[in-house]
Structure formats: C-alpha cells, structure tokens
Amino acid sequence: MITAADIKRLAKEAGFDLCGITTPEVIPEAKEAYERWLAEQHHGELAYMARDTQRRTDPTRLLPGVRSIICLALNYYHPDSDKIPAGHGRVSKYARGKDYHKVIEKKTRALVALIRKHVTDDGEVDFKWFVDYGPMLERAYAEKAGLGYIGKNSMLINKRFGSWLFLSEIVTSLELTPDDRFAIDHGKCGKCRACLVQCPTEAIVEDGVVDARRCISYLTIERPSAIPDHLADRMGSLIFGCDICQIACPHNNRRSRPTQHPEFAYEQGVGEFVDARRVLRMQTREEFLELTAGTPLTRPKLDGLQRNARIVLKNQKERD
C-alpha cells in the first residue's frame, strides 16, 4: 500500500517544491471566516465565490469516500528591478512567465499518474484535483497540512519560501497518514502590521481579511468596469496584479529564493514590465493575444488591460 512518504517522494519527482497531507473534515474557523467575508461583500463582483459555499468549505462534498487531501506548492519568486522603464507598467511576479494554472495542472496530472502506478491494492482509488479556480479553501487546508501559516495579508507563509507559492490539491480516497500542522515552526506575524500599513488602497481591512473591492490585484484583473479614481490614483505603475503586501512582509525579505521552475522564466511570458503605450495601440484581439497568449494577462481582456495602461501612464505623468 502506498504511504504518505511515498506520496511526498513522488510529488518531488513530479516537480513540486512542497507537499503536505491532511484530512478532509470541515475546518470550522475557516468556514466561518469565509462565510463572514462573503456576507460583508468583500468578494466584490466575483459572484462565483458565493455559489455553493457548502461545496467550497466541505471537501467531503467534492469526492464520495474522500479520506485524504494532498496539498502541493510551487515557488514562483522573482526579484524586482529597481526602476520601472518610462511608459511601462509592472506585472505581478506570479504572472511574468507561463500561466501557472497550466503549469500546475500538468504537474498535478503527472503526480496523479505516478500515484496510480504505485497503488498496489485491488480496490479502486479515486482522485480529484484543484488549482485555485476550484472550490477549495486551499490556504486553510495547506495550513492544516503543515505547509505554513496564514498571515495578516491572508497569504500562506512558509518557512522555506515565504508566501511566493502556487497551491494545488488532490482530494483522494486513499487513506494516508496526515501531517502534524505544528511539526514545523513557520513563524508568526506577531505584532507586525507592515502589510496592512503599506497596502496603498487599504485593502487589508483587518488581520487576515482582504476586501477585494479595494485590492489592486482584483481591480486590475477581475474588475470588469472602470476603476474609481480614488483607487486608480494609488495604483502607481502596476498594470497587472500587485505584490506590495508580500514585499512588505519581513518573512519574505528573509526567505525569498528565486524559482527553479523554467516555466516561470521571463522569456516564457511577458516578463516584469509591459509597454503601456503598446497596449493602448492595440486594436484587435489578435494583437492582444500576440502579447498575452499563454499567460495570465489574458484574464482582463483587451479592454481591461487598456484601462490599466491608461491609469499607469496617467500616474507616471502626474508623478513626473
């Protein structure tokens, strides 16, 4: 019978940086926090986040007979350049290479295939896997699996990699020995409030709670309509996503290490900066895809990226 140690060895073979195992019960405090977040409308226009909340908060609804959750992580950190070229907007670290959904999907499929080869019992084993678009409270279960702790900026913070992690999960009927959540001391936020203080739009409204309606990542990627001036004025040169609350974190200052995954190299995607003037010159979907295909920058579509480009150029002009 395959063991938890076997799973972790296979996860490393499939290319994952971290692997932890936990059980599928509801996490009461995570469920309560999520439902309160929705009730306070912090999800903004992300209507899908409010659909079928029971399925999102209870893994036993995702797979009949589930016994274990395998939590996985990839480091995606890239250092930033000191200066932003004139007329360019900065892209969040996670989006500079290939679309991480596709990268993680490929590695997760590979891991499931490896596990199936090593399962020696006669019974049927079931698997379902999820990236961040799936109905899982992924950070809560990763924390429960011992991969880190959830900080005041709501990010999972790991002892080795800080918070620069992509997460995925495999829900399975395999019965595996779960990890001790507290076996590794990942640290804690303590009295530090750097992420709350340095967020330019004050999106972190309380410890561990982010109001998406004010978050620059949400505004530049998910918001379909115009961005209010009082928030746009604080976006600076951020054209897609935001890393400010993570850069502010002392844990990341000590622990960040460049990713070893070639899929996230700049040459695999748009890189650190995008020419805002080029974006504004685009008139067709083909021109848009020439820049963004295979990367997360397809998400806001041409209209959204051009909206962001106009804000970047306006902010740079006012700054200069």
Q: Which helix (H) or strand (E) holds 21?
A: strand 18-22
Contact 240, 95 (CB under 8 A): yes
Of residues 58, 126, 132, 275, which has the active-site annotation? 132
Is there a catalytic annotation at residue 132? yes
**Residue 25 contacts by C-beta under 8 Å, 6 or more apart in sequence?**
60
169 forms beta bridges with 71, 130
Contact 292, 298 (CB under 8 A): yes
Q: Is 147 helix (H, G, I), strand (E, B) or coil?
A: coil
Contact 320, 283 (CB under 8 A): no
Residue with tokens 């797979």: 63
223 vs 235: CA distance, rounded Å: 14
Contact 145, 21 (CB under 8 A): yes
Residue with tokens 């993680």: 104
Which three-class secondary structure string do you get for 166-222?
EEEEEEECCCCCCCCCCCCCCCCCCCCCHHHHHCCCCCEEECCEECHHHCHHHHHHC
- Of 100, 74, 69, the C-alpha closest to 12 is 74
- Helices 4-13 and 100-118 meet at what angle, rounded to 10? 130
- Of 140, 304, 293, the C-alpha closest to 220 is 304
DSSP state of 27: -
Active-site positions read 132
